[in-house]
Structure 1
Amino acid sequence: MARRFRGESTHKVDAKGRVSIPAPFRRVLEEGDPDWTDGLNPNMVLVYGGKSRNYIEGYTMKSMDEVDEQIAALPRGSRRRRALEHMFSGQSVQLNVDETGRLVLSPKLREKIGITSEAIFVATGDTFQIWEPSAYDAHVAAIEDWLEEEVDDFDPLTLLDEPSSDSAEG
């Protein structure tokens, strides 16, 4: 089983949009790049598409290949395939982590999610998300509010047993 992204951390974003990727995330990116070898910097993909998304999602090259294969399996020209191609191919950027473990968020990416001086990196298993801090705080509050609706002794692991009715939620 491939290494997965874990944890969250806040990092400064400089005036040029450079931000350090958490060191454990860099290890996952290296493992997930078939072209990476010791001494090279890993490649990755940032997906910024979807107007309802207020974060940028980072993929390893292997994870992005898996998504691309799933999209390619859909009927050519179908509405679903075209929408997914638009979001995951058109509204994404492949980039290389620099020698100091940073990536550059272009002005377009920073403006899309409102990042100015800080960004929060949040692990989501086989991907990670980059958030503007106050937007992430609001997102976490909404999750906590939803969980508080459950009974007092609620065990979140029980969610794994329930059929998914919210697979479109992010």
Structure 2
Amino acid sequence: MDTKGRVSIPASFRRVLEQSDPAWTDGLNPELVIVYGDHRRNYLECYTIDAINEVDDKIDALPRGSVQRKMLQRLFHGQSFPTNVDETGRLVLPAKLREKIGLEKEAFFIAAGDTFQIWKPETYEEEELSKTEAWLDELPDDFDPLSYLDGAPEN
């Protein structure tokens, strides 16, 4: 990350953003929405336009006035930042978002289909990696997690 808060988006992520932005055409910068969320979220989650529209449709399908709808609107609409990738393939992260997750020099990206997460590398190592290791430690030594892809029952 540079001093202006710009991070380079991996090219493969940019292609997904382009393909999932209905308004994008060659020569334009793809749009996305960064959801920074509540106090428990220690990362930024970047949604393609199609992905955030899907979330919005699901929120809109909830009963008007319901607590669930109000809370999800706050979490997604009230705690998000619409933006776009610049012409050099970078994303400008406002100071407020960088400060929220303690991002200073380096950013760690994790792709998840039509979303990706931006983490402070140390936070990811401390929190998420330890969760994964704990989960793996609960499994039998000879269990292959890839078997979940075939619908194996969860232990």
Q: TM-score over 0.5 for the alignment? A: yes
| Aligned mates of 2:123, 2:148 — CA distance in 1 | 25
- Name the counterpart of 2:103: 115
How far has the Cα of 1:157 moved from its partner? 3.1
Structure 1 residues 112 and 142: alpha-carbon distance in aligned structure 2, compared to 1, 3 A threshold: same
Q: How far apart in 2 are the matches of 1:147 and 1:110?
A: 31
Aligned to 1:94: 82
**Corresponding residue for residue 167 of structure 1:** none
Unaligned runs of 5+ in 1: 1-12, 165-170
How far apart, CA to CA, are the structure 2 residues paired with 1:162 and 1:45? 34
Partners of 2:64 and 2:39 in 1: CA distance: 24
What is the rounded CA distance, in whole Å, between the counterparts of 2:120 and 2:99 in structure 1? Answer: 10
Local SS of the residue matching 1:82: helix
Aligned position for 1:155: 144
- 1:63 matched to which residue of 2? 51
**2:121 maps to 1:143:** no
What is the distance in 1 between the residues matched to 2:141 and 2:114? 31
Q: CA shift at 1:40, angstroms?
A: 0.7
CA–CA distance in structure 2, aligned partners of residues 85 and 94 of structure 1: 15
CA distance in 1, matches of 2:6, 2:43: 17
Instruction: Give the length in aligned residue pairs.
Output: 153
SS at match of 1:65: helix
Displacement of 1:103 in angstroms is 0.7
Are positions 1:85 and 2:73 aligned together?
yes
Provide the rounded CA distance (Å) in 1 between the counterparts of 2:84 and 2:74. 22
Question: Following TM superposition, where does structure 1 have runs of at least 4 consecutive aligned residues deviating by more than 2 angstroms?
Answer: 157-164
Aligned pair partner of 1:45 in 30, 33, 49: 33
Give the partner amino acid of 1:62: D
TM-score by length of 1: 0.85
Cα distance in 1 for partners of 2:152, 2:74 equals 31
Instruction: Tell me the TM-score normalised to structure 2 length.
Output: 0.93
CA RMSD of aligned residues (A): 1.6
Unpaired runs of 5+ in structure 2? none
Percent of paired sites with the same residue: 61
Corresponding residue for residue 29 of structure 1: 17
Cα deviation for residue 154 of structure 1 reads 1.2
- For 1:143, the aligned partner's letter is T
Distance 1:62 1:121 in 2: 20
SS at match of 1:94: strand
**SS of aligned partner of 1:90:** coil
CA distance in structure 1 between the aligned counterparts of 2:23 and 2:56, rounded to whole angstroms: 18
> How many angstroms does 1:158 deviate by?
3.7
Structure 1 residue 163, shift from structure 2 partner: 6.9
